Structure 1
Amino acid sequence: MPERDLSTFGLVGLGVMGRNFILNVADKGFTALGYDLDPEKAAALEKEGAASGRVRATDNLEAFVGGLERPRRIMLLVPAGKPVDAVIDALLPHLEAGDIIVDGGNSFYKDTDRREAFLKEKGIHFFGAGVSGGAEGARRGPSIMPGGSREAYAHLKPIFEAVAARYQNEPCVAYLGPKSAGNYVKMVHNGIEYALMQAIAETYDLLKHLGGLDNAQLAATFSRWNEGRLQSFLVEITSHIFRQPDPLGSGALVDRILDKAKQKGTGKWTSQNAMDLGIPVPSLDISVSMRQISALKPIREKAEGMYPKPALPAADLQWVEAAEATLYFTFITAYAQGMHLLSEASKAYGYELELGEIAKIWRAGCIIRAALLADITGAYQARPELDNLLLDPGFAEKVRPALEPTRRLVSAGIQHGIAIPTLAGSLSYFDAMSSGRLPLNLVQAQRDYFGAHTYERTDREGTFHTEW
């Protein structure tokens, strides 16, 4: 094929995400070639991209690889797991040293490390690049989190910076670090996402049962919050959800949706890895557990008949203001936990992450984009060595006024039997992290009593054991 007919960018997987991403690439002036095993998907992309003249598609793998400029830049948007390995195996016989494969899915970071090491031996660069923003973000501008070879990123940078979302004219993409840094950051992004979503759901429950708000009032409340310090994608779409009528019946659609939430694993991976690294992320942990509890609906319904809830008080709109402060506080603690985990993972895995840069590329395009991220960016740019966001003086000024209403609302929710583990757990996390002394001296005494596990003392150095 003549050099002038070769495409700059190749994409494997022409489902909704892949089709939208490649059309975004073409919109930004790059020639792009798509590949899918399904000839109908390839034909559909050809038809949709015909107007620009920059998009082609094929269901022939050899023609796909042969139609790309060298070094070949090939992005995979296929389901995580075995499909990624299958595509890599199929591509390998057609690739050359220096070519680049980018996995844009939610792959487990250890799989990315394995694939990167395997392909490196063959002279091929492998990137794990988290893409956040859903199908609409892929088309209009996502947040992109690439990790891999710094040298090879020079070949991806112009394309990624062109297609990424922009915040104050800055692209929401940056080279994050070697190996699986990009997939790891995307994993933690999703863990934070779980916590924010669960916190919003618990706030909704409190507003319904303590505040007495109906769907119209809930929509107005979340819409108003989205104009203030809680401005965020998730708060914005929540306000829209309460306004959506049921297309199959009467009333609001949200009231007809079954209370069983599903998950794809990234939240669980975040929680498990935080345990491995010894970093507390209770707001993220319990949000995963709540999805698991939600799936146990038959058990929940049986238990509800056995354990009556306390009577609810008369509805009181005073709780709306307290709920705003509580949600704001919980957002801060969720981001603080996620950033703390990223900091420790960077040291453990040699990622060389810059937390200010990560917060910066989350400010637009991604699911957890929020006004708070501008402040988080500033905090870590000013203090790159910050151990925890809660230690930043600027964030201390934000947290202190929110504590009293948070304690009041959490207490009321618990008193009246409303399940709010993310809100309550975030407050307990804060109280523990801001306590110079915890009752874990007793735990150490117990461990030494039954297992001779030893303990340390407050008044002298060394390790001690007592015959209790």
Structure 2
Amino acid sequence: IEITANILKFQDADGKHLLPKIRDSAGQKGTGKWTAISALEYGVPVTLIGEAVFARCLSSLKDERVQASKKLKGPQKIQFSGDKKSFLEDIRKALYASKIISYTQGFMLLRQAAAEFGWSSTTEHRLMWRGGCIIRSVFLGKIKDAFDRNPGLQNLLLDDFFKSAVEDCQDSWRRAVSTGVQTGIPMPCFTTALSFYDGYRHEMLPANLIQAQRDYFGAHTYELLAKPGHFVHTNWTGHGGSVSSSSYNA
């Protein structure tokens, strides 16, 4: 955020801002891709970093986007009629909430990797990015405090500080995303962060339909809520055969 502010203010030798002159095709060295691949391998929803990587991939399709911009229509141009100062605060809070989600997901991945490799969870690990790193942040001190309060903390969102911070930002977050959608502005990280938050806070998700569909077309079986650990297959059409729970229970 610090360097972004400096970039936005920076002027070229001609006195005009430099940023609009830079080609909008982002490169990458691979760290984001490696993180996304690790998240998939360990089954951890690190959606924000994944979307950030895909956004770079999309940006690299510059020639295609130039052609698409001439043919594909978005919403009719909407003139912003709200209070700009208030909306800037909405964006600030949306950014803060999304940042919390990004770190939350990152520490979910670290937690899973620690379980896989038998790593110990120490204060040094949580603070190692505070200096000499592109993601250095005072914010990491808050994360240290959260784990100091509860060494067994399962998720940052369950810590009182981060829970309150996200709740305080929630209305602004939703307004910012809604405005972006209505005006046709792509916001992959804001939207995926909000979707993760909404998914994580729901006791029930429509994944039961996914399991039913998998059983319908592939007889993969499903687990019943009333019988934890018990997997069954349903003959959905009346034409298939039965499948035992030992055949496939993933």
Q: TM-score, normalised by structure 1?
A: 0.48
Aligned residue number for residue 277 of structure 1: 42
Residue correspondence of structure 1 range 173-188 to structure 2 within 5 A: none
- Are positions 1:304 and 2:72 aligned together? no
What SS does structure 1 have at the residue aligned with 2:4?
Answer: helix
CA distance in 2, matches of 1:266, 1:465: 41
- Are positions 1:419 and 2:189 aligned together? no
CA distance in 1, matches of 2:95, 2:154: 23
Aligned residue number for residue 247 of structure 2: none
Aligned residue number for residue 395 of structure 1: 162
Q: Report if the CA contact (8 A) 1:357-1:377 is conserved.
A: no
Aligned residue number for residue 410 of structure 1: 177
CA distance in 2, matches of 1:258, 1:353: 42
Following superposition, the deviation at residue 257 of structure 1 comes to 0.6
Following superposition, the deviation at residue 312 of structure 1 comes to 2.9
Aligned residue number for residue 364 of structure 1: 131
CA distance in 1, matches of 2:169, 2:182: 20
CA distance in 2, matches of 1:365, 1:297: 33
Following superposition, the deviation at residue 392 of structure 1 comes to 1.0
Of 179, 204, 211, the residue aligned with 1:437 is 204
What SS does structure 1 have at the residue aligned with 2:231?
Answer: coil
Deviations along 1:209-260, one digit per CA (max 9) or x if unpaired, are xxxxxxxxxxxxxxxxxxxxxxxxxx2211211222123x451111101111
Of 239, 254, 262, the residue aligned with 2:27 is 262
Following superposition, the deviation at residue 382 of structure 1 comes to 2.1
Deviations along 1:272-327, one digit per CA (max 9) or x if unpaired, are 01100000000010000011101001111111111222213236413101001000
CA distance in 1, matches of 2:80, 2:101: 31
Q: Report if the CA contact (8 A) 1:246-1:256 is conserved.
A: no
Aligned residue number for residue 240 of structure 2: none
Same amino acid, percent of matched pairs: 40
Of 95, 100, 111, the residue aligned with 1:327 is 95
Deviations along 1:15-57, one digit per CA (max 9) or x if unpaired, are xxxxxxxxxxxxxxxxxxxxxxxxxxxxxxxxxxxxxxxxxxx
Of 341, 345, 360, the residue aligned with 2:109 is 341
- Are positions 1:243 and 2:9 aligned together? yes
* Residue segments in structure 2 that go unaligned for 5+ positions in a row: 237-250
CA distance in 2, matches of 1:298, 1:333: 33
CA distance in 2, matches of 1:347, 1:359: 16
What SS does structure 2 have at the residue aligned with 1:463?
Answer: strand
Deviations along 1:355-375, one digit per CA (max 9) or x if unpaired, are x33222323332212232111
Q: Report if the CA contact (8 A) 1:267-1:284 is conserved.
A: yes
Of 203, 215, 220, the residue aligned with 1:448 is 215
Query: How many equivalent residue pairs?
Result: 232
What SS does structure 2 have at the residue aligned with 1:456?
Answer: strand
Residue correspondence of structure 1 range 116-127 to structure 2 within 5 A: none
Following superposition, the deviation at residue 411 of structure 1 comes to 0.7
Larger RCO, structures 1/2 (Cα 8 Å, 6+ apart): 2
CA distance in 1, matches of 2:182, 2:80: 14
Query: Quick one: which amino acid aligns to residue 299 of structure 1?
Result: E
Query: Quick one: which amino acid aligns to residue 238 of structure 1?
Result: T
Query: Quick one: which amino acid aligns to residue 47 of structure 2?
Result: P
CA distance in 2, matches of 1:320, 1:364: 29
Q: Report if the CA contact (8 A) 1:259-1:294 is conserved.
A: yes
CA distance in 1, matches of 2:188, 2:9: 27
Q: TM-score, normalised by structure 2?
A: 0.89
Following superposition, the deviation at residue 439 of structure 1 comes to 0.5
Q: Report if the CA contact (8 A) 1:390-1:396 is conserved.
A: yes
Residue correspondence of structure 1 range 76-95 to structure 2 within 5 A: none
